Structure 1
Amino acid sequence: MREEFELELENRIRNLMWTVSGDYTLDVKPDLESFRRSRYIALYDGIKQGAFARYFDREELSLYLVKKIYLHAQEGELISLAQLCIEWAVCDRIMEEREGVGEIRTKAFEDTLELDFSQLVGYEAGRLKISLFKEALNGEEPATNRLRGFMERVYELKNAVDTMEVIRTVDFLYNEIVDPQFVKQHGSLERVLAVTLEELTEFSWKDYLEEEALEETFSAYLDKVTESMTNLDMMEQAKQQEQEEDREEESTNKKKVLLVDEKALERMYSYVQRNYGKTYLTDPEEKRLNYLLCRGIHAECSLYFTEGVLKNPVLRNYQYEYAKKQKDKNLYAYHNNHRMVKNNIWTLTDMLKKAFTMRDETDEVLSDRGKIIPSRLWRIGRTQDAKFFVRELKQDNSDFVVDVLIDASGSQRSRQGQVAMQAYILSEALSNVNIPHRVMSFCTFWDYTIMQRFRSYEDDRSANSNIFEYITSSNNRDGLALKAAGHELLNRDEEHKVLIVLSDGRPYDVILNRPNARNPQPYQGKYAISDTAFEVRRLRNQGVCVLGVFAGEEKDLPAEKRIFGKDFAYIHNVNGFSKVVGRYLIRQLEKEE
């Protein structure tokens, strides 16, 4: 009986929302808990959801709220302010159309003040709500100048014409009332709106551990925010829980260590598969490489080798769609700079061809075998010099191999198109002179360092276009990535090996601390730079020529110098890329003559 009643009630509220909005495809979830507290609060919330969906863009506002929360805004108070702004953006419009709404609104306000007054009075955003509701019920109420200013800002929304006006007001109120340091510490509204959807999917990893698929997690969280932003019900218990979680998170951030349980670890590999694509290694190969390479300070880490979510998706989830969009952006950047990229490719190709032409020239040297030299025969029996022959020596260009390793951490996000073009220029030029080469990117999520392969050594030039699938994410454990790239490079038969690393000189990785494991030192600052520099020196000692191509911010130059020493190139823009890198490669060719 109770289930039938709840179903009927849910249908009534949903029909009310659809009627008000005029959109019968609107996906809404009535709040029956609010109805148990107050039927008027629940009914008015339903009306308000429908009205806001009719006049504004629900998704645009809820996405802003999620982005603000991602940048460490307090969820409870942010949504509370959004509720107020939505209320005054739609109230006059809907009451003009439907006479009965005014009475429901009055009852809802009275019940809210009666049920939640003791909680609301305890913080400034709550007191703003009390003043607005009282003024709506009783006429003008006394208020301080500060509070009156906030109230007038909310009243201005009665004339709002688009969702961005509502967003600006919510953002202003939050920054003024809840967290005056937010802009200084986390950025302005422009920074909030610039948060990408890919960042948000990473943010919701905790929710993912309790779900079967990542896209369900993000959608569920977005839906939760969308529902909450029109509710008058304060849900004080949820607010207190959020504050406790914030304190726990603050304590965790101080240590720069993430603590997870065994259940989380079990689902971690599944998360990586879904969002970075299936691995191209077999289980035994993957275990063997992790056993060989994940040692020392990387002992509790893992390597994951993939060709990307677009090449080998588990399913077409949110990350898959985001990767498609980023590929389109990279290709747009390429086509927008097509002539410059082609010029760089041919400049670098020409430099390499000239260097190889010089190596192709035949040198004649004296030897104890080869073609006899009659003019030297007089030395027989008169000297110990037995070099009566001449030999022709010709250098072999096939004894070179190159690896290109690209930093794909989140700090490269603003330069994705530029970095993709740099790697593409390199790969095309190396293909033009038939040098075998591989192109990979790396980033680190949790304890997995993701090695994404765009092309392998033996691929033909058509594989170079895969580089535009370059996408940035999470952190970067540079030392482990260099170790992994160098492992296969060192196993190549070519005598002369070159590793080119495109990075911003900022190795940084949040540590995942397994249950009962030791608490390692955070991989950042001098610790991370020293480890990365050590891997560079180790590879050089084993005969690999390592070049760092720096495309970061000038303040990180000292770190890049400590990592790569004198063998690094500072690329101010892509225009000069080919000449700078070309000069280095030619130097390596000349060294090996």
Structure 2
Amino acid sequence: MKWIYEDYDRDQRLKNIMWTVSGDYEQDLESFEKYSDLSKDLAVYYAAKAGARRKYMDWKLIKGYLNYRLRRTKANAQLLVGITEVCTDQAVERKLLKERPGMEEIRESGYEALMENFLLSKNKDLIDKVKYLIFFRQTGKSVQMDKKVVDVVNDIESQNDFKDTMDVIRKIEQVYVDHFEGEAADIDFIEEDDKARETIEHFSEADFEEESMNDFMQEEYYGEQEDLSEAVDRMANHLMVESMGEMKKEEQENTSEKTISIDEETAEKIQDKIAHYYGQSYLPKEKVKSIEKKVCRSVHEGCRVHFTDGVLRTSTDNNFQVKYVQKQLEKNVAFYNNNSRVHKRNIFKLKEQLIKTLAMEQETSYLPSEYGQIVPQRLWKVEHTDDTRLFNRILKNEKGGYAVDVLLDASGSQKNRQGSVASQGYIISQALTLAQIPNRVMSFSSFLDFTILRRFRDYDSPIEENKNIFEYYATGNNRDGLAIRAVCEALIQRQEDNKILIILSDGKPNDMKIAKGSTIRGEASYRGIKAIKDTAKEVRAARKNGVLVLGVFTGKEEELYAEKYIYGKDFIYNRNIERFSDIVGTFLKRIIENY
């Protein structure tokens, strides 16, 4: 990301503002060019608030509180993190404006410029609405919101002053309990300062070592929509308004580059780390390199792929990861068993529908004709009628056999749906296997520059291996286009005439680039419309190569637009698990009959 300053003094003045407010002249200023390009006042306000965030908030304590709360209680992570973001932002705002009253006018002027170049998200949950109401109140605009939202905002704004970070944590807890939980959990420790700080600092220091990959995996496990540490870092380093929408296209193009830089030594160690956390590869290195040469091109240049059967079915000394996957397996099985009668009925109905459809496709048809195979029973017509169709023309189905790949999106955005995705994958595979259709089931996610493809069963595996699908777990990012391309490499090599790819995904590809050493090639992060277009392109390429692609949408209804863009008419969205087999069966029948 490049920004050419028209005025070097402006850069220095902004740094001085941050340093003056924070009182720490060793801190550096985060990237602020997107604000400065829009408005001088917005850049000044951002710099001042950056300093205030450092001065007034102990973000390590905030991390410790969230980690404790989410690990020890059944708190809703999305709600609690959202309330934390709002309360910390309000606390910093109050402190800053009390100490420097002139900032309020600067903020209003800056926000006016921001509103002209900002697209508010259309998909608003309750926390989004809380942020919206606060934002509009700060800009002096009125907006209608439901009573729940108004009550939450009024409660947050009712406290005019916060003594310290522990005071803010108490407010977060009070708002969350009063408005969302209904009763206090085991959080009595926050009533006593010494005990509170000691407890929180323990969780903060013990569980947030940023250089430790073990801690990364733990945060993935206890987090929900995003890594917990990353969520708090975002609060500490960005204006709250940034989580409410995005810059218009022309501004967004300048800020969408997301690259992580690592040295060569670290790059060489990544392969071993990937195997340590995801399981050894079942393909030899030479075969993997050959596949990478074919698939890691264009926007995926520099990426790598890792094919594995997972940590439970390969040798590993990573006991933490084994326990983690085993625990999720048990949760997935429990999810399936809680509704086993419906799931088993889905399997039976889908199997019967597949068998019936394939049987019809393989039937031999006989058409009365003037040539072909003679039919003795019609010879009497020779002298008695003008009908010369004394023969049958035999129409044989030449479609041949079928092979199916089932690909499960295993990125972190699926964390709340792990049991559901695993069960749906199992239902499809079990029905295909019982219908004697070769099928392979894999999941995909990405970590650093690797796309991880975990295989649960292969095309000709015995039916007993279908239970491996319950090893499914969600973590990391997702590079959908590369995963589709890599999976199709093996699928198109199958001898069957007809290949089908079924993809269970939320339609939200999202990944980042890794730069090795000092050579950053400048590729954009894999997200937003760019990633959606790439995924759609790979779906079209697969279809062009003879693969029938069906999307099964597992995300939220308001995000269906991406799924429609990627898969066209060949996708399904199922709200009722009891009708899952009917819907999948109907769509499979359609694509089998029409292609």
Q: Could you tell me which residue of structure 2 aligns to residue 477 of structure 1?
A: 479
What letter is aligned with 1:411?
Answer: S
Q: Could you tell me which residue of structure 1 aligns to residue 540 of structure 2?
A: 537
Q: Is the 8 A contact 2:418 2:473 kept in 1?
A: yes
Give the whole-Å Cα distance in 1 for the aligned partners of 2:307 and 2:169: 53
Give the whole-Å Cα distance in 1 for the aligned partners of 2:586 and 2:568: 17
Does 1:356 find its partner at 2:361?
no
Secondary structure of 2:426's aligned partner: helix
Percentage of identical aligned residues: 38
Offset of residue 301 of structure 1:
0.2
Select which of 299, 306, 309 maps to 1:304.
306
Give the whole-Å Cα distance in 1 for the aligned partners of 2:269 and 2:394: 62
Q: Is the 8 A contact 2:403 2:498 kept in 1?
A: yes
TM-score by length of 2: 0.59
Change (3 A) 1:151 1:544: closer
What letter is aligned with 1:434?
Answer: Q
Q: Could you tell me which residue of structure 2 aligns to residue 585 of structure 1?
A: 588
Offset of residue 540 of structure 1:
1.0
Secondary structure of 1:340's aligned partner: helix
Cα distance per residue 1:485-513 (max 9 Å; x no partner) = 11111111111111110000100002212
Give the whole-Å Cα distance in 1 for the aligned partners of 2:64 and 2:432: 58
Does 1:263 find its partner at 2:270?
no
Q: Could you tell me which residue of structure 2 aligns to residue 165 of structure 1?
A: 188
What letter is aligned with 1:554?
Answer: E
Give the whole-Å Cα distance in 2 for the aligned partners of 1:256 and 1:149: 31
Give the whole-Å Cα distance in 2 for the aligned partners of 1:544 and 1:152: 55
Give the whole-Å Cα distance in 2 for the aligned partners of 1:293 and 1:170: 56
Select which of 198, 206, 211 maps to 2:211.
206
Give the whole-Å Cα distance in 1 for the aligned partners of 2:502 and 2:194: 44
Cα distance per residue 1:84-142 (max 9 Å; x no partner) = xxxxxxxxxxxxxxxxxxxxxxxxxxxxxxxxxxxxxxxx9xxxxxxxxxxxxxxxxxx
Change (3 A) 1:440 1:170: farther
Give the whole-Å Cα distance in 2 for the aligned partners of 1:294 and 1:424: 29
Offset of residue 267 of structure 1:
1.6
Cα distance per residue 1:255-310 (max 9 Å; x no partner) = 42212112221221111101100000011111111111111110110010001111
What letter is aligned with 1:464?
Answer: N
Alignment of 1:321-336 (within 5 A): 321-336=323-338
Q: Is the 8 A contact 1:204 1:217 kept in 2?
A: no
Q: Is the 8 A contact 2:400 2:498 kept in 1?
A: no
Secondary structure of 1:264's aligned partner: helix
What letter is aligned with 1:493?
Answer: Q
Q: Is the 8 A contact 2:61 2:165 kept in 1?
A: no
Change (3 A) 1:545 1:76: closer
Q: Which runs of 5+ in 1 are unaligned?
A: 1-72, 83-123, 125-143, 155-160, 175-192, 209-213, 220-241, 380-386
After superposition, the CA RMSD in angstroms is: 4.3
Cα distance per residue 1:316-355 (max 9 Å; x no partner) = 4211110010000001111111101001111111211222
Offset of residue 441 of structure 1:
0.4
Offset of residue 446 of structure 1:
0.4
Cα distance per residue 1:512-552 (max 9 Å; x no partner) = 12221312111000100000000001111122111110010
Offset of residue 169 of structure 1:
7.2
Size of the aligned set, in residue pairs, is 395
Q: Is the 8 A contact 1:377 1:388 kept in 2?
A: no
Secondary structure of 2:502's aligned partner: strand
Offset of residue 590 of structure 1:
1.7
Change (3 A) 1:393 1:258: same
Offset of residue 589 of structure 1:
2.4
Does 1:558 find its partner at 2:561?
yes
Q: Could you tell me which residue of structure 1 aligns to residue 287 of structure 2?
A: 285
Q: Could you tell me which residue of structure 1 aligns to residue 76 of structure 2?
A: none
What letter is aligned with 2:471?
Answer: E
What letter is aligned with 1:486?
Answer: C
Stretches of 4+ aligned residues off by more than 6 angstroms: 79-82, 148-154, 168-174, 215-219, 366-370, 374-379
Offset of residue 395 of structure 1:
3.8
Q: Could you tell me which residue of structure 1 aligns to residue 508 of structure 2?
A: 506
Give the whole-Å Cα distance in 2 for the aligned partners of 1:435 and 1:206: 46
Does 1:463 find its partner at 2:465?
yes
What letter is aligned with 1:488?
Answer: A
Give the whole-Å Cα distance in 1 for the aligned partners of 2:538 and 2:165: 59
TM-score by length of 1: 0.59
Alignment of 1:119-518 (within 5 A): 147=163, 164-166=187-189, 206-208=211-213, 214=214, 255-364=257-366, 371-372=373-374, 390=392, 392-395=394-397, 399-515=401-517, 516-518=519-521
Give the whole-Å Cα distance in 2 for the aligned partners of 1:149 and 1:545: 56
Change (3 A) 1:207 1:170: farther
Q: Is the 8 A contact 1:428 1:461 kept in 2?
A: yes
Cα distance per residue 1:167-210 (max 9 Å; x no partner) = 58789999xxxxxxxxxxxxxxxxxx9x9xxxx99x756334xx
Give the whole-Å Cα distance in 2 for the aligned partners of 1:152 and 1:278: 46
Change (3 A) 1:147 1:270: same
Give the whole-Å Cα distance in 1 for the aligned partners of 2:212 and 2:319: 16
Secondary structure of 1:206's aligned partner: coil
Q: Could you tell me which residue of structure 2 aligns to residue 20 of structure 1?
A: none
Q: Is the 8 A contact 2:399 2:497 kept in 1?
A: no
Cα distance per residue 1:418-453 (max 9 Å; x no partner) = 000100110111111111111110000000000011
Does 1:528 find its partner at 2:531?
yes
Secondary structure of 1:439's aligned partner: strand
Change (3 A) 1:556 1:170: farther
Cα distance per residue 1:371-429 (max 9 Å; x no partner) = 455779999xxxxxxx9975655547861111111100000000000000100110111
Give the whole-Å Cα distance in 1 for the aligned partners of 2:584 and 2:490: 23
Change (3 A) 1:510 1:152: closer
Give the whole-Å Cα distance in 2 for the aligned partners of 1:341 and 1:271: 37
What letter is aligned with 1:440?
Answer: M
Give the whole-Å Cα distance in 2 for the aligned partners of 1:556 and 1:520: 26
Change (3 A) 1:146 1:76: closer
What letter is aligned with 2:524?
Answer: Q
Secondary structure of 1:329's aligned partner: helix
Change (3 A) 1:168 1:362: farther
